[in-house]
Amino acid sequence: MADLHTNIECLENACKNPRAQLDKYLAAGKKVIGCFEPYTPEELVHASGMIPMGLWGGHTELKLVKSYLPAFACPIMQANLEFGLNGTYKGLSGVIIPAICDTLRCMTQNWRFGVPDIPMIPIVYPQNRTSPASTDYLISEYESVLVMLATITGQMMTEKALCNTIEIYNEHNAVMREFSALAVKHLDIITPSVRHAVMKSAFFFEKSEHTAIVKEINEALKALPEYNFTGKKVVLTGITGEPDAFLEILEKNNIAVVADDLAQESRQIRTDTPLTGGGGLKRLALQWKDRTCCSLIHELGKPRGALLTELCKENQADGVINCLMKFCDPEEYDQPWFEADLKKAGYPCLTVEVDPLNTSFEQLRTRVQTFAEML
């Protein structure tokens, strides 16, 4: 059993160098499927005997992608396509692309023509999730994905394997939720950067492997006395809290992250797949139906503000920082709604534009510092 800091360092290294994780699995004879985020059905890949690996882009110079995507496309997807075009993703047996926003919809054809040596598997989620027909439709989409995965593995996924995978993913969700709750009590160790690394690293490990590491972190935290944090506490919302420089700015201003509503982090772990209600594919479809409070999922009523308010109350947060991904229209549409709800509840909200490709942070640093002084 590794100690707390060794486990944290392991997860941090995976985030810094996902390619090393990919090479590790390839060297072990595993096939790896790249999963465009945030909502790719990883369970289908895992149950098919392959490793699902999240593709979240990264800092790089954009060259080849300029021939495929406009400059105002999502920076995460621009980086993903650049990595596909320049060979960084070489070794992947395929990629799955969920068409849940404008950039991802056009990404399917751009990938098909730009990166023909890595097969592309599309999936389209239903917009009207309340209709019974949407469940049947999504099951048919999952079946199409499985057929294409079978061309890579040479065999179809079994129901037994899928049921086992669902249990593995549900357990991972529970362990990650426990980590999030424990982190609030140890803000001296679980800084914004560390919290982010533990959350994000889940995309680069086989899930049971990641679960085992986080379990050890949780047990180590339970053995420590609670830390009395005297700085400011915030909840993050948005797609991602990257780049890492943003999290470092929070730390330098004595700001702790006590909860989040990020697509890259807690939105991944807060909805379990039902253990009853039909076969594995139907239960996965029902899980999609149960997801809520995300700008990329069509939903009436805009309940995200209520969720953020509750997260602030539960974790005694002083305010919310909205990490608005550059050029992300769905997040921009949600912003006025949840900001109004937060204002009504008495919680200040700072909206900052985040861009994983950014290299200049002076304006961001000034705004965060000012916000910290206001809290």
Place of tokens 């009853």: 276
Domain ranges of the chain: 1-20+166-230, 31-157, 231-375
What's the pLDDT at 1? 73
pLDDT of residue 128: 86
The residue count for the chain: 375
Rounded CA-CA distance 241/234 in Å is 12
Other beta carbons within 10 angstroms of residue 82's beta carbon come to 24
- Bridge partners, residue 323, by sequence: 238, 352
pLDDT given for residue 359 in this prediction = 82
Looking at domain 1-20+166-230, its CATH architecture is Up-down Bundle (1.20)
From the first residue on, what is the mean pLDDT of each consecutive set of 10 residues in the chain (375 residues)? 92 96 97 94 98 94 94 94 97 96 92 97 91 94 97 97 98 98 98 98 98 98 96 97 94 98 96 95 95 90 94 98 95 95 97 90 94 94
The percent helix, strand, coil of the chain (3-state, each to 5) is: 55, 15, 35
Token pair in block for residue 251: 């730390």
Predicted confidence at residue 228, as pLDDT, reads 96
Residue 169 burial class via C-beta count within 10 angstroms: exposed 0-12, middle 13-18, buried 19 and up: buried
pLDDT of residue 301: 83
pLDDT value of residue 131: 86
**Domain 31-157, CATH among 3.40.220.10, 3.40.50.11890, 3.40.47.10, 3.40.50.300:** 3.40.50.11890
CATH 3.30.470.20 describes domain 231-375: no
The span from the CA of 22 to the CA of 17, in Å, is 9
pLDDT score at 360: 83
Cβ-based neighbours of 98, under 8 Å, separated by 6 or more: 36, 39, 40, 104, 122, 123, 124, 125
Within this chain, domains 1-20+166-230 and 231-375 share the same CATH topology:
no
